[in-house]
């Protein structure tokens, strides 16, 4: 088995969509960067790589057996054994996962570019290992788990705010005041006010969702800001994306 050493990771926990496992250029100085002392590297087929990157279901038992207790972290100068963790690659992309002792990839990370290049060098010319994926539930995208095409081209901040907007819209749809939907649709598209007045709540909702689901703009941001006003949980997320962030740390490791 191949192994990597002294690996910088930036864990994103409970993420089922690969677009939320941020690439190195989007890492922030306040992220909790950790150092892995030793971890196995597994060359896998495209199907399994996509399954690990873009889902949160049970991993193949044979893979878990192959990597069992082969990873070590350094904590307070002590070497701590990790139950199930690995770097996986399909030869084109790389991801790291840690199951936290479970059977699904709970935590995931990208690598810094220098270590990513090393992965490709280590598996070059080698055939990927075959692991059978058990029958699983078909993954479906929805308002709280948007498809990759809806997040394509957005920055980390924009993705976070778009998810926040979708959470607020979902809450609006299921609120006790559905008549507010037409009000917010008017905020979003005031030129359509004469038509909006004639819409049912369901029609207004479809127009609002259909109009905001694509891309990201200052109009999206303004609507999001207004929608979440007075809601502490949402406002905390908003504020977290509006302070200055830096992606320049750890460049010396690149």
Q: Express each pLDDT in 7-41 by its tens digit.
A: 999 999 999 999 999 999 999 999 989 999 999 99
List of residues 6+ apart from 103 with CB closer than 8 A = 58, 59, 61, 64, 84
Q: Express each pLDDT in 179-237 by its tens digit.
A: 899 999 999 999 999 999 999 999 999 999 999 999 999 999 999 999 999 999 999 99
Res 249: pLDDT:
42
Confidence (pTM):
0.88
CA 186, 190, 191: angle at the middle one, nearest 5? 135
Residue 116, classed as helix, strand or coil, is helix
Going by pLDDT thresholds of 50, 70 and 90, the confidence category of residue 137 is confident
- Per the CB < 8 A criterion, the answer to whether 32 and 78 are in contact is no
Per-domain residue ranges of the chain = 2-139, 148-240
Q: Express each pLDDT in 66-101 by its tens digit.
A: 999 999 998 888 899 999 999 999 999 999 999 999
Res 247: pLDDT:
39
């Amino acid at each position: 088995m191949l192994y990597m050493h002294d690996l910088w990771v930036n864990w994103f926990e409970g993420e089922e969509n690969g677009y939320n496992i941020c690439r190195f250029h989007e890492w922030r100085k306040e992220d909790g960067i950790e150092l892995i002392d030793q971890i196995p590297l597994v060359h896998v087929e495209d199907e399994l790589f996509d399954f690990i990157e873009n889902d949160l279901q049970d991993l193949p038992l044979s893979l878990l057996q192959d990597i069992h207790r082969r990873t070590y972290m350094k904590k307070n100068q002590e070497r701590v054994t990790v139950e199930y963790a690995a770097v996986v690659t399909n030869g084109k992309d790389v991801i790291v996962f840690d199951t936290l002792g479970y059977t699904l990839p709970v935590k995931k990370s990208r690598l810094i570019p220098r270590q990513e290049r090393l992965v490709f060098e280590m598996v070059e010319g080698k055939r990927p290992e075959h692991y059978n994926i058990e029958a699983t539930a078909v993954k479906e995208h929805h308002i709280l788990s948007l498809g990759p095409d809806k997040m394509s081209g957005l920055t980390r901040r924009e993705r976070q705010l778009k998810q926040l907007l979708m959470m607020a819209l979902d809450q609006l749809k299921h609120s006790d005041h559905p008549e507010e939907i037409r009000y917010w649709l008017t905020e979003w598209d005031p030129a359509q006010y004469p038509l909006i007045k004639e819409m049912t709540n369901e029609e207004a909702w479809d127009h609002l969702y259909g109009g905001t689901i694509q891309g990201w703009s200052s109009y999206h941001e303004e609507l999001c800001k207004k929608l979440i006003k007075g809601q502490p949980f949402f406002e905390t997320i908003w504020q977290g994306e509006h302070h200055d962030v830096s992606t320049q740390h750890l460049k010396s490791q690149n």
